[in-house]
Structure 1
Amino acid sequence: MREAQASICLQGGPMSKPNGYSRLQIRLHWIVFGLIALQYILADSIEEAWQVFAKGGTVEFSPLIAAHVFGGMAVMVLVLWRLVLRFKRGAPAAPEGEKPAQTMIAHLMHWGLYLLMILMPLSGSLAWFGGIEQAAENHLILKVALIVLIGLHVAAALYHQFVVKDNLIDRMRTARD
């Protein structure tokens, strides 16, 4: 029983594994990816505004700042939705023949990504709306951690596609509802 609970906790979902991700899971993955890319593009405007705010200045309304704030909130909501879907539907099993250590690293990386995609908007909100300096500092640290994990995630997908040649990347292109 403990093994089954550990499997559900680590892999997220029921014991029966779906053959792939659903259309909705794939769409949410790519929408979140696009929103996060936009967050990094818009980061300069909010960082500059934070510096003004931190020095006691007044920050004027800016559509770029608003886009960053609302984009962060959208990321968090969509990631929470993704997690609900993952727990309800499950996630596909590891590729056949993958070593247990690789599977564990993949699970840890995915859960790390989920955690960072939730902590980033929370820390940003605490900084922006609460004026909490420590939250702003944490947000910048999390920003670096997230970009590192995204880079590792992309590198792993490319490794599977071009070195292992198991077509793993197709999971996020073709739905298996």
Structure 2
Amino acid sequence: MKPAGYSLSQIWLHWVIAALVVAQFVFHEQIVAAWEALEKGQPADINLLVRSHVIGGSVILALTIWRLLLRYKRGAPALPAREHPALKGIAHFTHFTLYALILILPLTGLAAWFGGVQIADFIHTTLKLPLLVLVALHVLAALYQQFVLRTGLITRMVRPG
């Protein structure tokens, strides 16, 4: 049986991971500069923002694993009953892909940074844009559900149920 809503832990993890992902995008220029310097054999400025990016990615990875374990153990509420099957399919695909990306990006980032794995850097860099697009789609879909379809969907992610 599916729960009626998300637990407080699931809600907290959602918003903390979301904030960390946004921070990774906003403050990524320093790590890009450090990476490019290292690739050229030059000394890199390993400053607070570079370290924060590495630590932030590691925290995202750990929190995402925790969130997936909670989801497996507790479950997630069903999508709105009156939602069109095509929208439900898109929602499932988007959620699955978001989870996959927020696992793959930190793993490839760590492999590139600590292991110097070039293919990991390529994957990490390439998957940034799809993650950004899916996050935007996720936000727009939630707003559409809340304000156009009036399903109360956002309430599930702000109030435990």
TM-score normalised according to structure 2 size: 0.97
Q: Cα RMSD over matched residues?
A: 0.9
Which amino acid in structure 2 is aligned with residue 58 of structure 1?
Answer: P
1:131-170 alignment, distance < 5 Å: 131-170=116-155
Once residues 51 and 119 of structure 1 are traced to their aligned partners in structure 2, the CA distance between those partners, rounded to angstroms, is: 21
Query: Matched residue of 2:124: which SS?
Result: helix
- Identity over aligned pairs, percent: 46
User: Deviation at 1:61?
Assistant: 2.8
Aligned to 1:109: 94
User: Deviation at 1:45?
Assistant: 0.2
1:46 aligns with 2:31: yes
1:119-152 CA distance string (max 9 Å, x none) = 0001111111111222112111111110000000
User: Deviation at 1:108?
Assistant: 1.0
User: Deviation at 1:60?
Assistant: 3.4
1:125 aligns with 2:147: no
1:22 pairs with one of 7, 11, 16: 7
5+ residue gaps in structure 2?
none
Runs of 4+ in 1 over 3 A off after TM superposition: none
Once residues 69 and 154 of structure 1 are traced to their aligned partners in structure 2, the CA distance between those partners, rounded to angstroms, is: 25
Which amino acid in structure 1 is aligned with residue 36 of structure 2?
Answer: Q
Aligned to 1:70: 55
Aligned to 2:64: 79
Once residues 161 and 86 of structure 1 are traced to their aligned partners in structure 2, the CA distance between those partners, rounded to angstroms, is: 23
Task: Indicate if the aligned counterparts of 2:34 and 2:46 stay in contact, CA closer than 8 A.
Answer: no
TM-score normalised according to structure 1 size: 0.88
1:172 pairs with one of 140, 157, 160: 157
Once residues 66 and 34 of structure 1 are traced to their aligned partners in structure 2, the CA distance between those partners, rounded to angstroms, is: 17
5+ residue gaps in structure 1?
1-15
Once residues 127 and 96 of structure 1 are traced to their aligned partners in structure 2, the CA distance between those partners, rounded to angstroms, is: 43
Which amino acid in structure 2 is aligned with residue 49 of structure 1?
Answer: A
User: Deviation at 1:77?
Assistant: 0.4
